Structure 1
C-alpha cells in the first residue's frame, strides 16, 4: 500500500508516526514545502518574551526522525496538483525545480492553515509580519530588537500572548481588533473585562471596535497603522487576524465548507474514500451544536492525525468530536474555556441559560485562597451543558477539561450537581465548584 502525505505539521506528524506503527507494510512518502516539521507556533510568544530561549526547542520531531522510521521524507517539495480520479500528485522539488508525478493508494491531506492576509494599502511594506511558523518567529525576534512601538492586529489568543510578550520586553504596545472586546470567540464579557484590565494596567493600549484600513510608511518600512477610528504609530506590525484552511489542491474534488475546510466523517475520511484529511485543513464535528465547524487547534490536529492512521484501511476508532477546549495565561490569570460562550449561543439563536460563580476556590480558613470566576452555559429546555469558562489566579484550568468531557458525553446540569468529586481543603470546598454550578441551575 502506497500512502502519500501532503503537509507535515501537527496532524501530518501524528499520522505518519502512527501509520509506521499500525501499518508497517505501508510505503509512506511525505511531501512538505518547508525544510522543517512539527513547529509549535503556540510557543512563538514564549520565544519572543525569552521564556523559551531557543526556538529550535519548539520542534517535537524532525525530518531525520521520520526518515529513520523508514518514511520517504521529501522536504522542500511543493505539491502542485492532486488528481483524485487518477490517484496521482504533481510535485516540484523547490531546490532543483524538477517536477514529477507520484501515485498513491491512500492520500492523507494534512496541509494545515495559513494566516489571513487582508489586501490593504501598504500591506507589503517591511516590518509587517505574520505569526505562524518557525521562519516567522525568527523574523519577529530579529525585527523586535530595534522596534520601539509594536502593534498587534487581532485580539485572539495569539495576539494577546504577543502583546504581553512585547510589553515584557519594554515595548510601546498597541492591540487592535474590530470587535469591541478581546478573545470574543472564547470568553464572555465578564471574563474578557478582567483580562483587558490586566493588559491596560501594564500600559498596553487596547484599540478595540475599529478596523484596520491600511498602513503608511517611510522608505518602504511601516510607520503607521490606519483604522476606522484613529491611527497608531508603529515600527513593527504583527498580523494575527485568523487562519484559513490550505485546501486548494482538493477544490472541487471533495466536500468542503464554504470557507474551504474539508469535511471528514468520524473516521477522518473525506467524501472520497481513499482521501483522508486531518488538522487545520479540516472541518470537525463540534459537539455543542452537533454540526461541522472550523476550529484550528493543535490538540484537534494531533488527535485527528492519529485517527487517520488507525482508520486508514478499516474504520476502527471513531472520532468523538471536539468542544474546542483551550486555555491561556495572561499575567497572573489562568483562563480556559470549552464549548460555546453564552454570547455565541445567543447569536446562534439557541435558547440557553448560564450559571456564574464568583467566589473563593477553597475554604477561607486556609492561610491563602484565591477568587475564581466560573461560568457554565446550558440549554434552557434540556439542561444539556454546551460551554464553560474559568478564570483565577489559582490554576483551576483542569476544571474546564472536566467540563469538556461533560459536554462530549451530553451531560446535564442536574447530573453535574451530583458528580462524585473529592474534597480536600488544600484544593477545594466540600461542594466542588462544578457541583455548585450544577446545583444552582436546578
Structure 2
C-alpha cells in the first residue's frame, strides 16, 4: 500500500507516525513545500518575549525523524495537481524546478491553513509581516529588535500573545481589531474586560472597533497604520487577522464549505474514495452547536491526523468532534474557555440561552493564601444541556475547562453537573467544585 501525504505540519506529522505504526508494511511518501515540519507557531510569542530563547525548541519532529521511520520525506516539493480518477499527482521540486508525476493507493491531504491577508493599500511595504510558520518567526525575531513602534492587527489569541510579548520587550505596542473587544470569539465581556485592563495597565494601546484602511511608508518601509478612525506610528506591523484553509489545490474537485474547508466524514474520509484529510484544511464537528464549522486548532489537527492512521484501511475509530477548548495566559491572568460563549450562542444558534457566573476563592480561606476565580457556565434553558464555559484567575485553574469540554461532549445537563463527583483537598479546592457551584446556581 502506497500512501502519499501532502503537507506535513501537525496533522501531517501525526498521520505519518500513526500510519507507519498501524501499517508498518506501507510505503509512505511525504511532499512538503517548506524545509521543515512540525513547527509550533503558538510558541512564537514566547520566543519573542524570551520566555523561550531558542526557536529550534518549537519543533517536536523533523524530516530526519520521519526518514528514520522509513518514510520518504520530500521537502521543498510542491504538489501542483491531483488526478483523483487515476490516483496520480503532479509534483514540482522547488530546488531544481523539475516536475514529475507520482501515484498513490491512499492520499492524505494535510494542507493546513494560511493567514488571511486583505488587499490593503501599502500592504507590500517592508516590515509588514505574518505570524504562522518558522520563516515568519525568524523574520519577526530579526526585525523586532530594531523596531520601536509595533502594531499588531488582529486580537485573537496569536495577536494578543504577540502584543504581550512586544510590550515585555519594551516596545510601544498597539493592538488593533475591528471588534469592540479582544478575543471576542472565545470570551464574554466580563472576561475580556479583565484581560483588556491587564494590557492598558501595562501601557498597551488598545484600538478596538476600528478597521485598518491602509499603510503608509517611508523609503519602502512601513511607518504608519491608518484606520477608519485614526493613525498610528509603526515601524513593524504583524498581521494576525485570522486563517483560511489552504485548499486551492482541490478547489472544485472535493466537497468543501464555501470558505474552502474540506468536508470529511467521522472517519476522516473526503468525498473521494481513498482520499483522507485532516487539520486546518478541514471542517470539524462543533459539538456545542451540533454544527459543522471551521475551527483551526493544533489540538484538532493532531487528533484528526491520528485518526487517519487508525482509519486508513477500515473505518475503525470515529472522530468525536470538538468543543473548541482553548487557553491563554495574559500577564498574571490564566484564562480558558470551551464551547459557546453566551454572546456567540445567542447570535449564532437557536438555543434558549442562559448563563450563570460565580466568583469564589479557589480554595478554603483558612489556607495561608488563596485567589479568587471567576467561572461562567452557558446552557440551554429548554434542554438544560451545558453549551460552554469560561474561567479566569491568577491561579492556573484552566483544567476546569478541559473537564467542562468532556461535560459538553457527553451532553450533560446542569442538574447532572451540579451533582457530579469531584475530589476535595484544601490545597487545591473547596468541598464543592467551582463547576458544582456554578451548576447549583443555575438550578
How far the C-alpha of 1:250 sits from its partner, in A, is: 1.2
Measure the CA separation in 2 of the matches of 1:297 and 1:38.
14
How far the C-alpha of 1:70 sits from its partner, in A, is: 0.7
Q: Which moved more, 1:248-257 or 1:153-162?
A: 248-257
Give runs of aligned pairs for residues 12-411 of structure 1, distance below 5 A.
12-348=12-348, 349-411=350-412
Measure the CA separation in 1 of the matches of 2:351 and 2:90.
46
Measure the CA separation in 2 of the matches of 1:426 and 1:97.
62
Measure the CA separation in 2 of the matches of 1:436 and 1:383.
16
Measure the CA separation in 2 of the matches of 1:53 and 1:395.
23
SS in 2 for 1:262: coil
Q: Give ranges in structure 2 of 5+ residues lacking alignment.
A: none
How far the C-alpha of 1:273 sits from its partner, in A, is: 2.3
SS in 2 for 1:405: helix
Deviations 1:42-85 (A, max 9, x none): 00000001111110110000001111111111000001011111
Name segments (4+ residues, structure 1) moved above 3 Å: none
Deviations 1:174-212 (A, max 9, x none): 000000000000000000000000010000000000000
SS in 2 for 1:141: helix
For 2:442, the equivalent position in structure 1 comes to: 441
- Pairwise CA RMSD: 0.6
Q: Which moved more, 1:235-244 or 1:247-256?
A: 247-256
SS in 2 for 1:378: strand
Deviations 1:22-56 (A, max 9, x none): 01111110000000000000000000011111101
Measure the CA separation in 2 of the matches of 1:396 and 1:50.
25
Deviations 1:264-291 (A, max 9, x none): 1110011112110000000011100111
Measure the CA separation in 2 of the matches of 1:358 and 1:430.
15
Measure the CA separation in 2 of the matches of 1:189 and 1:234.
29
TM-score by length of 1: 0.99
Measure the CA separation in 2 of the matches of 1:18 and 1:218.
51
Measure the CA separation in 2 of the matches of 1:351 and 1:176.
33
Q: Give ranges in structure 1 of 5+ residues lacking alignment.
A: none
How far the C-alpha of 1:358 sits from its partner, in A, is: 1.3
Measure the CA separation in 1 of the matches of 2:325 and 2:279.
15
Is 1:430 paired with 2:431? Answer: yes
SS in 2 for 1:145: helix
Measure the CA separation in 1 of the matches of 2:27 and 2:119.
42
SS in 2 for 1:42: helix
Measure the CA separation in 2 of the matches of 1:3 and 1:252.
23
Measure the CA separation in 2 of the matches of 1:415 and 1:271.
39
Q: Which moved more, 1:423-432 or 1:157-166?
A: 423-432
Measure the CA separation in 2 of the matches of 1:32 and 1:271.
23
Measure the CA separation in 1 of the matches of 2:185 and 2:83.
37
Deviations 1:388-420 (A, max 9, x none): 000000110000000000000110100000000
Measure the CA separation in 1 of the matches of 2:290 and 2:109.
24
Measure the CA separation in 2 of the matches of 1:131 and 1:215.
18
